[in-house]
Structure 1
């Protein structure tokens, strides 16, 4: 706790590595799908042939699997930096026990989402699944896809992105750049590229505004209550369970 209360004007090597991985390597590699050349040879031939032939559902599952890797790897570097510096999660503004205190709410929420994953496909499709969701490529279709969306697109993205791009990046960069408002644009650019880069003006503005608003909220909350942003982020992404 003493270390966390001391004003720091420099960054240690573990923090620098975690920041470079999260704000530079992660966005660059993700937007260029760098690891496809490494992972695709490991997949069964029928999978790779489907991917190359633009099979929507095989491509969707590959997207989900690769997102698990891309999200959790930089998160682990953040965790390692905290461990090496003897810093707690409170130093990045998150109190994990907050979720335990409201466990009944979260259990109810998860039950509703899981049940919806089973019910919604029958309501929309009545047994005949389409090849593509009306929500676009990212939209899940089957029950299994909707359950995967809860785990990867909602839970994983909410936890890892908020910790990496809000909690860790803002609190650590502020040790060098005293005014946190100057940090927001840098983080926002990185945030755009972890969602596929500059695909369209609409999507780019969407992610820029999202990052700026969430970053501003974290600053106004005095770098605390990151769990609230995680919850809001989760709810936004979990809405994919209900898309047609």
Structure 2
């Protein structure tokens, strides 16, 4: 299975910590955050990664190159203008050959990707489907927006941040498994969001998206607090 990593973010919320790097290159315990994503892929048998890059992408390309040093094949899809999460996936479509994973370049979910893919394949075999989203539960989803699912794991709705008080505490954990057919729902060369536009459009058109609930460690490194929290998480694992 291929994996796309959305690594084109500006990192505006992290400017106080990294003002000269793209956000996915933020240093964590001596190495860039993206290395932890690569290690997650490697642990789960993923041999090919497509980096969707933009802002200061040369730093990413110069560091990782072809991926040979990490035992993984890396390709680059370079945005000249910011295209959003869906636009970045659309731009990378020339590399997409099969069902594929998408990982946000600024969140980390310590998940078994093989189990996630197996969950999706089993649900798709029952009733069809075009993709699945990893979900995690938090106490207060108002800063993230929440996701509502039914007993059959089908996603019913996406709730905006302002709508989430009293709603589901499940949030999008930033990892998806998607079918190439999703590309038909993304306009070319236009800034488009997976979360706010593409996924709701899929539901509105009768396509099934499944929610995979996990209690695995999750963090958004896009804020100074999240960045510090991941530093502490990694340091704690290294001491074990």
Which gives a bigger RCO, structure 1 or 2 (Cα 8 Å, sep 6+)?
1
Q: Which is greater in Rg?
A: 1
- Structure 1 length-normalised TM: 0.23
- Structure 2 length-normalised TM: 0.23
- Normalized per residue, the structure richer in strand is 2
